[in-house]
Amino acid sequence: MRETDPYRAPALARVARAVRSAIRPALATAWWMTRLTVVVSLGVSVLQYFGMIDLLAEQLNPLFHLAGLPGEAALVFISAYFVNIYSAVATAVALDIGLRSVTILSVMCLCAHNMIIETAVQKKTGSSAVRMVLLRTGTALVSAFALNWLLPCSDTAHAAHALSAETSLKDMALDWLWTTGGLVLKMVTLILSLNILQRLLTEFGVIRILSKALRPALKIFGLPAKTSFLWIVANILGLAYGAAVMIEETGQGKISKRDADLLNHHIAISHSNLEDVSLFLSIGAGLWWMLITRWILAAIAVWLRRFELLIRHAPPPPDGSNR
């Protein structure tokens, strides 16, 4: 009689359960993102075809020139700021922007995107909404100026195919269909893969193990050890997707308000380092520029916040000490 491996069967069943539980919400998210991407990218292509992007670039060029960016790059940043990374990527794909500009824009957008929803999450987990908006917007601008100074000036490659003045409406539509179709395919694959990965990591307790292993490294960022699990959640799922987990952890008092606030100062600048970074990587942004720039800014933000809290809660000087 054939015996069944008592360890293999439960493991396979757990894998199947994790995959099944991930597919439905992943497809729902992918469908919503696809509709958004199609609408945004088509709108940008139409605006570009009729010269509206050139008009916008002419008006904004002096401001964005300070960061080494063309004027139309503002459309990418605004899309990310008020919507999300997907809309920003769709906009960037539709524009003729060099790879240097894509890298600078990617860091700006990663610092400050989906501002309304993500700020609401951070406020609910214990941080000031105004502070988070100012922090993310400020670091986006600082990173742009810094990268404009650090990155090589050559920008010959392009993230998207440029449309010439003689391009017909039909050619524009075909170009849009080709570029957007490829982007949608990448996005759907990425969303499915990351959702399944997250469910598997949670199902088998890998996230908990990783959180313990990462605690010493988090000290460099100035983060308390108790925040390690939420740090992983924010880096894998992001603020919007990881909102439920983060709100639950802080709401149940598993980490203090102070620790949650310190974590928010870090992940406000650096989160979703799988999905969002991969999306910008797919259109030519530099991987290490996207990661290291935000890690440095996030570490500075946390240590400055710790210093601020230290001064604010320092005991008053004894009587007569200032005489």
- Range of weakest confidence among 93-97, 113-117, 165-169: 165-169
**Model's pTM, two decimal places?**
0.73
pLDDT of residue 322: 44
pLDDT tens track for 233-261? 888 878 876 666 677 777 777 788 899 99
pLDDT tens track for 130-145? 999 999 999 999 999 9
Q: Which parts of the chain fold into alpha helices (H)?
A: 8-49, 52-65, 73-82, 85-94, 99-111, 115-124, 129-150, 169-203, 206-218, 228-241, 243-251, 257-267, 275-281, 287-312
pLDDT of 107 over the 90 cut: yes
For the segment 260-277, the average pLDDT, to the nearest whole number, is 93
pLDDT of 1 over the 50 cut: no
pLDDT tens track for 30-45? 787 678 778 877 887 7
Nearest by Cα to 198 from 241, 156, 166, 157? 241
Angle between helices 287-312 and 99-111 (to 10 degrees): 30
Residue 167 in tokens:
């391009």
pLDDT of residue 111: 96
d(CA 298, CA 218): 11
Angle at 298 between CA 124 and CA 242, to 5 degrees: 40
pLDDT of residue 317: 59
Q: C-alpha 209: how far from its chain's center?
A: 24
